[in-house]
Chain A
Amino acid sequence: MQRGIEPTMTRMTRPQLGTLTAFALVGVAVFGAACDREEIHSYRVPKSAPAPRMAGGGMGGMNPELPARNGAAGQDLAPSSSSATVVWDVPPAWKTVQSNQPMRIATYDASGAEVTVTAFPGPAGGTLANVNRWRGQIGIGEIGEAELASLLTTTRVNSTEVSTLAMTGGQGQVMLGAIITPGDGKTWFVKSTTDATAAAALRPTFDAFAKTFRVEGAGAQASAPLASVPAQATPLQQAPTQQAAAQQGMNPIEGRLAHYAAPTNWASEAQTGGIVAAAFTATNAAGGARITATSLANDGGGDLANINRWRGQLGLADVPALSQVQFADLVPGVKVVDLANPAGTDRMIAAFVTVDRSTWFFKLRGSVAGVEAEREHFAAFVRTVAMGAAQ
């Protein structure tokens, strides 16, 4: 190599000029590459293509607590993915309340009583299942089809079918409810729980409010009367996929929860929505338990990490590998761990399963005996919601 070295040159040769040019280009490229090009930017994208939806269409865009937007004072609306839009008239005395519950379409303060509006695709599990779910929330037992008919007052306003009811709870509270099918392919639910006196005063306004729900715009379609749809008639496989659910503003579990009727001793907790699809408090003679269903994207952090997290909650040491985890045999196809703290006072059964591109977690936690008393109920819950099995 040394033989190629030449004596000092006195003027630039063509190769040297080329070399200098190459150096300049390299310098510019390096400078460009070294510069941080990350900055805030914007772009427009077409709305996602419609994903597979449940029978009767999807939720469309969520519209929690929006003030009147269509020019008519006191009127709210919920934009749908179709051109049909459901609107309703808000009584002048009611105040719109901001709510953090993603599943809620609207929340109102009706002279101290909270009135909520939600909507679910299709028949949403059926009227009977939903009424029994509500009954569970106020601590009263389930009813059958025959009793349901006498409980509901059903009227039709143009193309909207409205069923209203009032139920007195175990502690004297009264729940006013309305199940509405305006014809947009969804079932709308209006609900308020308050004391008996306030409920009596609220009911006329409440019922009138429920009857104002209607579809505006093209694309409205007639929906089947709810009474003709049995609770478990809709195949659970039609639960929306994660993509569809996300487009509908739903937790991916929500679609399947609509088909689930909780046991009578499980009271649904109000603080659900978003990641927490459902939370129940189970009362039993053994100390009770709490049940939650949550959903996280992708692997939810990983099986081992989650199991160790739960173990940590109970004061148990981490396990180094999944192969050392002892899974419980509760629901076929679902990974289940049954853990108790060293003192034997706190127990947790955690089940998790991958559905679409998310991981669903189901947990039952309470005293050892309290959890044992709810074990079968919990298994049925997981079987129905996670695996899509008929109840």
Chain B
Amino acid sequence: MNKLNSILKSLSSLRLTVVLLALSMVLILAGTLAQTEQGVWMVVERYFRSLYVAIPFQLFVPTKIVRIPGVFPFPGGLTLGVLLFVNLLAAHAVRFTLSWKRAGMIATHAGVLLLLVGEFVTGAFAKEGNMTIAEGESANYIEDTRSCELAVIDTSDPGDDLVVVVPARMLGQAGGDAITNGMLPFSVRVVEWMPNSRMLGPMQASKGQLAKATAGVGTQVAAAPVAVATGVDGADIDIPAAYVELKRGDASLGTYLVTPRINVPQTVDVGGKRYEIALRFERGYRPYTVKLIDFKHDRFVGTETARNFSSLVRLTDPSERVDREVLISMNNPLRYAGETFYQASFAPDDSGTVLQVVRNPGWLLPYVSCALVALGLLVHFGSRLISSVRRKVS
């Protein structure tokens, strides 16, 4: 027990708190600078939701001044957050006593702990995506534009499609190795992976570029890699592309170009069955369907300035016997099945809507934690002020 006590005491060290806060500041600085070369979400994942991160020395010095190769390891946000959480909890177990005098401080620390828990819950469980619907059409899935997947779809069943999904991250990490799985009707070898890409039209692509694909639309258009979108690029998103060779045993079924920019189905025949393949934004299917009845983009009279966006949708969920019309506008989201549907964007020709769909079981925690911290500080400094006034009066 003494050993445990000494461990707890070490963990509750105020020096540790200071070190962790200092490291957090360095991490935030590095994460902010990293957004000049990487996308916001990539930085969030690599710097703030990881156990450790390899930070390039070059990040802190412009290449114009000097080029510095190499990286140095650094604790990631997950590590620092957990250690801060443990440190604060241990401090309360070892040092602080429960008393009304300390109620303010305890409430403040509880708020900070809750804030850390809230970020953890958001990082681990929150899901966010877009539902894009053209007028008159329906959608029953949400697309996550931050990640892609290679979908192999068996459409032979007249009722259902059987979809086998290979996460894009696996494609990116495969190198030259074939990806095989019992669920896949063929193996997938990634010939070339492009985390972000641009398309080359039939007049632009060289013969060599067109020769990369031996089947599908890649014989007519090509893809070329471009730098990934960075945090300073605004709302740009990465559109990956890949040349994948599909093989059944030793027999090649062709090398296909796949990218979310391709908007026609590409098919592969294997063993008398037809499969569609597509690299698409990661989809999450839902048991409910949202049909866009009408999208309105009101403008101030005589101007192109937007006054209001709204989507009149019909929400149907047979499993819950739900069938109703809902008007979603900019400050009036729809909340259903634990998800919130915000009016986020629209098709350039106003022919459709883009709803941002967010599921975050921890969405309330930051509010509660901020309220706790504010209340705690109010109580803490308020009681100090009252004591001070009393002393002066007496």
Report A's interface with B, CB cutoff 8 A: 1, 4-6, 8-13, 15-16, 18-20, 22-23, 26, 29-30, 32-34, 38-47, 49, 51-52, 61-67, 69, 100, 102, 241-243, 245-246, 249-252, 271-276, 279, 290, 292, 294-301, 305, 309, 313, 354-358, 361, 363, 365
Contacts and interface: CB of A to CB of B under 8 A. Distances in A.
Contacts, number: 217
B163 A45 contact: yes
A95 B131 CA distance: 45
Interface of B: 1-2, 4-5, 8-9, 14, 49, 51, 78, 82, 85-86, 89-90, 92-97, 102, 105, 120, 123-124, 132, 134, 136-138, 140-141, 155, 158-167, 169-170, 179, 181, 183-184, 198-204, 215-217, 219-221, 239, 260-267, 269, 272, 274, 285, 289, 347-349, 351-352
Contacts of A40: 164-167, 170, 179, 181, 183-184
B203 A292 contact: yes
A45 B161 contact: yes
A354 to B, nearest CB: 4
A20 B4 contact: yes
B210 to A, nearest CB: 10
B289 A45 contact: no
Contacts of B161: 44-47
Contacts of A246: 263-265
A271 B221 CA distance: 11
Given A30-B51, A49-B138, 19 more contacts: A4-B96, A4-B97, A19-B89, A22-B89, A30-B78, A33-B78, A38-B169, A47-B159, A51-B137, A102-B266, A271-B220, A275-B217, A275-B220, A290-B203, A294-B202, A295-B264, A300-B199, A358-B263, A363-B203
Contacts of A357: 132, 134, 347, 351-352
A275 B264 contact: yes
Given A274-B216, A313-B203, A354-B349, A297 B261 contact: yes
A10 B160 contact: no
B263 A38 contact: no
B203 A52 contact: no
B166 A297 contact: no
A301 B347 contact: no
Contact of B261 (A64, A301, A355): A301
A325 to B, nearest CB: 17
A61 B184 contact: no
A365 B204 CA distance: 11
B163 A44 contact: yes
B347 A32 contact: no
B183 A38 contact: no
A276 to B, nearest CB: 5
A313 B224 CA distance: 14
A33 B260 CA distance: 28
Contacts of A18: 93
A66 B2 contact: no
B88 to A, nearest CB: 10
Given A61-B155, A275-B221, A66 B274 contact: yes
Minimum-distance CB pairs A-B, first 4: A274-B217, A19-B93, A297-B263, A354-B348
B267 A64 contact: yes
10 contacts: A23-B86, A38-B167, A38-B169, A41-B164, A45-B141, A65-B269, A102-B217, A271-B220, A276-B221, A365-B203
Taking chain B's interface residues, is the majority helix, strand, or loop, or is none over half, making it mixed?
A: mixed
Contacts of B349: 354-356
A184 B264 CA distance: 22
Contact of B120 (A33, A39, A292): A33
A299 B299 CA distance: 23
A44 B165 CA distance: 11
A243 B159 CA distance: 19
A295 B264 CA distance: 9
Given A29-B124, A292-B203, A62 B267 contact: yes
B82 A275 contact: no
A16 B93 contact: yes
Contact of A26 (B49, B85, B160, B352): B85
A139 to B, nearest CB: 22
Nearest to B219: A100
B318 to A, nearest CB: 11
A181 B102 CA distance: 86
B31 to A, nearest CB: 18
A354 B347 contact: yes
A105 to B, nearest CB: 12
Contact of B201 (A4, A355, A363): A363
Contacts of A274: 216-217, 220-221, 262, 264, 266
Contacts of B120: 29, 33
B264 A298 contact: no
Contacts of B5: 8-10, 12, 16
Given A66-B274, A241-B137, A275-B217, A301 B198 contact: yes
B285 A43 contact: yes
A281 to B, nearest CB: 12
Contacts of B93: 13, 15-16, 18-19
A355 B159 CA distance: 30
A250 to B, nearest CB: 7
B266 to A, nearest CB: 7
Contact of B265 (A67, A249, A298, A301): A249
A361 B264 contact: no
A13 B1 CA distance: 10
Given A33-B120, A100-B215, A276 B199 contact: no
A42 B261 contact: no
B391 to A, nearest CB: 17
Nearest to B237: A298
B347 A42 contact: no
A276 B285 CA distance: 30
